[in-house]
Structure 1
Amino acid sequence: MLFRFSLYGFLKNQRYFEPFLMLAFVEKGLSFLQIGVLFAFREVCVNLFEIPSGAVADLYGRRRAMVVSFAAYIVSLATFAMSTNVAWLFAAMFTYAIGNAFRSGTHKAMIFDWVRIHGRSDEKTRVYGYTRSWSKLGSAVSVVLGAALVFYTGAYSYIFWFAIIPYALNIVNFLGYPAELDGEQDAPVSFGALFSVLWESLREVAGRRPLRRAVLESLGFEGVFHATKDYLQPILRQTAMGLPVLLMVSDMKRTAVLVGVVYFVLHVLSSAAARQAHRVVDAAGGEEPAADILWAVDWLLFAGLLASLIIGWQASAIAAFVLLMAVQNLWRPALVSRINTYSTPEMGATVLSIEAQAKSLGTMMIAPLVGWAVDTTGSFWPVAAAGLTAATLVLLSRPFGRDSRAA
C-alpha cells in the first residue's frame, strides 16, 4: 500500500497549473484583491463542505469520497481552461473546493488506519512523511512539464487540460485500495448518525487542549501559508523581466523558464524536508518541541522576507519563499501526527477535516486582506507582514517549557 499511497500523492500533485495560477488570473485582468476574494470564495466553499465530507467519508466509505473528490477536480480543471469571465472562474473554484473538501483529511485518515492496522503506529510520522515526499517529487515533475507547456504553447489554458489526465489515473488507483481502509461503517446510515459523528468530533477537538491548540496553530501556519505562497509567482515574473537572458522570447516564456527552475528546486527541497520530518521530531524530542522550533524558524524567514521585499532584494526574497515552503513540509507531517496522536481512530477523517477547515478559515480571512494591501501599496511586503504577524502571535502564546499536552 505504500506504493499506492505514494502514487496517489505523485499523481495528485501533477498540478501543471499551480506555479502559474496567479499569473493566469492576472492575465485574465484580475487585480490582486479580486484574486484574494476568489481564493477566499474557494475557502468558504471548502468550509461549507469540509467537516460534513469527513463525516461522510467515515460513514459511507473513504474510497467513494476520494472518487467524488477527483471527479470534482476534473470538472473544475475543464472549467478553468474554458473560462472567459470572472463568473466562470468562481464556478471553477466552487467545484475545486468540493474536490478539496472530500480529499483533505480523508486520505490522511486512510494512511493512519493502514499504519494502525499493520502495527506500525510508532512510524506514523515517518510513513506520512515518506508518502508526502513522493507528492513533492510529483510537484517537481509537474513544474517541469507545466513550464514546458507554457513555454511551447505561449498560453496558460493547456496546463489545465493536461492536468486532467493524471487526475483520471488517480481514480483508477483508488479502485485498488482495500475495503479495510473505508473505516468502520454502520448501516443503515442516517442524517442523525452523520450529525452525531460531526458533533462528537467537534466536542473532541474543543475538549482536548493539545488537539484544540494544534487545530488553531494550523489556522495560523497553514492559513497564512496558503494565502501568501502564490505571490512568489509575480515576484518571479518581475525578476524574469529584468534578467538579461532569453531576450528573443516573450515575457511569458521567460517567466515560464524561471518559474520552472525555481519551483523545481523548491519541490525537490520540499520533498527532502517531508521525508526528514520524522528526524526533526526525533531530534527535537517530540512533536510539541519540534513545533516550537519550526515556529521560530518560520518567524525568522518571514522577517527576512519582509526586509528583502522592502529593500528590493528579489533574489533573497525568492530564497526566503523557497525556504518557507520547505519548512511547511517539515511542519505538515509533524502537525498531522500531533492531531492523530490526540484523536480517536473512529473519528480520524472528521477531526482531520476540522483541522483542514481551520486552515481554510485562516486563508479565507487573510487572502483578501493581503490582496487589497498589495494593490494599495503597489508592493509585495504585506505578504511577509501577514506571515510575521501570525508567527509572532503564536510564539507569544506557545507554552514553552511547560507540558503542552495537558488537557
Structure 2
Amino acid sequence: MVSLVRRYYFYRASLSSGFYIPVSVIYMESRGLGLPEIGLVQGTFLFSMVVWELPTGYLGDRLGRRAALALGSAVTVAVMAGFALAESTLGFATVYGLWAVAWTFKTGAADAWLYELLATRGEEEEFSRISGRADSVLRLLSGGAALSVGLLYTVDSSLPFLANAALAGIGLPVLFTLPRTNGAGSGDDAAVKDAAVEDAAVDDADPSPIGVREVARVLRRELSRPSIRWVVAYAALFNLAFSVTRVFEQPAMRSVGVPVAGLGLLYAGFKLVSAIVSSLTGAVHDRLGTRGVLFLLVPAVGVAYGAFAVVPALLVPALFLRRGLQRITRPVRTEYVNDRVEDVGRATVLSGVSMALTLASGTANVLGGRVAEAVGPLRFLSATGVAVSLAAGILWIAVRPVRSAAGDPAPS
C-alpha cells in the first residue's frame, strides 16, 4: 500500500500547471494578442468547461476513473504542446477549448479513484490524510516549477509549456501502474469489491440518479430560496472580480515593473500563501462565523483594490490577498449551501451554483478585455474591485444574502 500511495502522489504531482501559469498571459501578448483577445480566449476556457462538464462526467462513469484520468492527461500533453505552436486568437481559443476538456476529465476523478480504492480495503478514514498530502505535493511541485519559469521563458518563451507537457506525459505511465476501481466501465479487477461504489458515492453524489426534468425542478426549487439565490448573486460579484484579476494580473504586474523572472517568484509565493491560508480556514470560520467570513469580502476587496489605484506597488499585496480570500471563502460558501439543500439534489444544486459562477466569470473575461485595453489593466482591475465591493455592500444591506436555515424554509 505504501508504494501505491507514493505512485498516487507522483501522479497527482504530474497534474501541476506550475510551469505555464506564471507566463500564460504575457506569452499570448508576445504572440500578438491584445487584452480583448486574451479575455476572449480565457472566456472560451470557462464557457467550454460548462459545456463539457456533463459529457466528460458521463464518459468518465462509462469508461472508469483511470481511463478518464488517462484521457485528461493525454489531452493535457496535446494542449501544452499546442500552446507552444499557437500564434493566433483562433489557435489559442482552440487550445483553451481543449484545455477545458482535459480539466473536466480530471476534475474530481483523482479523488474519486482514491476514495474507491481505499473503500475496497476498508480504509476510507485515510482519505483525508492521503488526499491532503497529495495536494501538498502538488503545491510544492507547482511552487518549484514557478521558480524556474523565469529562466525557461528567457531561454525560449515556449519552454515552460513544453516542460508542462513533459510533466503531464510522465504522469501517464505512472497512472497505468495504479489499479482500477469498480466504477462503471472499469472492468474486472480482483482487488475491488462490489460494495465500494455505494460507499464512495455517499459524499460526492446524490443518493439516487435523477433525470433532466428532475434536475431542472430541483434547481428551480432550491435557487428560489432567498438564502441560496442571493448568496449565489453575492458570490458571483466577487467571482467576477477575482476572475478578471487572474486573467489580467500579469499585464498589470508588468505595468508596475515586475520582470518575467519576478513573475515566477511571485507565483511560487502565491502557492505558499494559499497553502498556509487553506490550513487556517477552519479557525477563521470558527472565529468569525459564516456571515463574518463572507462579509469580510466587501471591505477587504474594496480597500485593497482601491489602494493600488493610488499606489501602484500595492497591486502585489492585493494579489496575495485575493488568493487568501478565495481560499477562505470558497469552502465556507460551499458549506453554507450544503447546509440548506436536501440530500436528494445536493450535487445537482452545487453543480448548478458552480456553473452559474463560471458563466459569470467567462462573461466578465470576454467583456473586460476591451475595457482593460482602453484604460490599462491596472486601472481596470482597481475599478472592477471597487465597483464589485460597492455593489456587494448594497446587496448585503438590501437582501441579507446570508441567512439562517431555520428562517428560510424550502418552498413547497
TM range (shorter): 0.7 to 0.9
Asked whether 1:25 is paired with 2:24, we answer: no
Please report the TM-score for the alignment, with normalisation by the length of structure 2: 0.76
| Aligned residue number for residue 179 of structure 1 | 181
Asked whether 1:257 is paired with 2:261, we answer: yes
Residues 351/115 of structure 1: CA separation in 2 closer, same or farther (3 Å cut): farther
Shift of 1:23: 0.5
AA in 1 matched with 2:83: F
> What pairs with 1:150-229 in structure 2 (closer than 5 Å)?
150-151=153-154, 153=155, 155-175=156-176, 176=178, 179-180=181-182, 184=197, 196-197=210-211, 199-208=213-222, 209=225, 219-229=236-246
Q: Structure 1 residue aligned with 2:74, among 57, 71, 76? A: 71
Residues 102/217 of structure 1: CA separation in 2 closer, same or farther (3 Å cut): farther
Distance 1:352 1:114 in 2: 25
Q: How many residues align?
A: 376
Q: Structure 2 residue aligned with 1:136, among 135, 139, 152? A: 139
| Aligned residue number for residue 248 of structure 2 | 231
| Aligned residue number for residue 299 of structure 2 | 300
8 A contact 1:309–1:317 mirrored in 2: yes
8 A contact 2:274–2:323 mirrored in 1: yes
| Aligned residue number for residue 376 of structure 1 | 374
Shift of 1:257: 2.0
Q: Does 216-225 or 156-165 show the bigger shift?
A: 216-225
Q: Structure 2 residue aligned with 1:314, among 312, 315, 327? A: 312
Name stretches of at least 5 consecutive residues in structure 1 with no aligned partner: 186-194, 242-254
User: RMSD of the alignment, in Å?
Assistant: 3.8
1:304-358: CA deviation from partner (whole Å, max 9, x where unpaired): 33323322x2221110111111221223344455566667889887665544422
Shift of 1:371: 1.4
Residues 65/332 of structure 1: CA separation in 2 closer, same or farther (3 Å cut): farther
Shift of 1:270: 0.7
Residues 217/206 of structure 1: CA separation in 2 closer, same or farther (3 Å cut): farther
| Aligned residue number for residue 62 of structure 1 | 65
AA in 2 matched with 1:207: R
8 A contact 2:215–2:345 mirrored in 1: yes
Asked whether 1:37 is paired with 2:36, we answer: no
Indicate the SS of the match to 1:29. Answer: coil
Q: Does 293-302 or 172-181 show the bigger shift?
A: 172-181
> What pairs with 1:49-128 in structure 2 (closer than 5 Å)?
49-107=52-110, 120=125
Residues 293/214 of structure 1: CA separation in 2 closer, same or farther (3 Å cut): same
1:202-240: CA deviation from partner (whole Å, max 9, x where unpaired): 544443346666765654444442332232212322233
8 A contact 1:13–1:139 mirrored in 2: yes
AA in 1 matched with 2:169: A
Distance 2:131 2:336 in 1: 12
8 A contact 2:274–2:327 mirrored in 1: yes
Q: Structure 1 residue aligned with 2:285, among 276, 281, 287? A: 281
1:120-158: CA deviation from partner (whole Å, max 9, x where unpaired): 59x97x88766544443333122112223123x0x3211
Distance 2:30 2:230 in 1: 40
Considering fraction of residues, name the structure with more helix. Answer: 1
Distance 1:344 1:62 in 2: 27
Indicate the SS of the match to 1:179. Answer: coil
Residues 406/227 of structure 1: CA separation in 2 closer, same or farther (3 Å cut): farther
Asked whether 1:15 is paired with 2:18, we answer: yes
1:151-197: CA deviation from partner (whole Å, max 9, x where unpaired): 3x0x3211111101221233345442651566849xxxxxxxxx955
AA in 1 matched with 2:165: I
Residues 130/101 of structure 1: CA separation in 2 closer, same or farther (3 Å cut): same
Shift of 1:362: 1.6
Residues 85/161 of structure 1: CA separation in 2 closer, same or farther (3 Å cut): same
Rg bigger for which structure? 2
The structure, 1 or 2, with the larger RCO (C-alpha pairs under 8 Å, 6+ apart) is 1
Shift of 1:401: 5.6
Please report the TM-score for the alignment, with normalisation by the length of structure 1: 0.77
AA in 1 matched with 2:221: G
Asked whether 1:326 is paired with 2:328, we answer: no
8 A contact 2:219–2:348 mirrored in 1: no
AA in 2 matched with 1:331: T
8 A contact 1:19–1:143 mirrored in 2: yes
Q: Does 364-373 or 108-117 show the bigger shift?
A: 108-117
Residues 203/120 of structure 1: CA separation in 2 closer, same or farther (3 Å cut): farther
> What pairs with 1:392-407 in structure 2 (closer than 5 Å)?
392-393=391-392, 395-396=396-397, 397-400=399-402, 402-403=404-405, 406-407=409-410
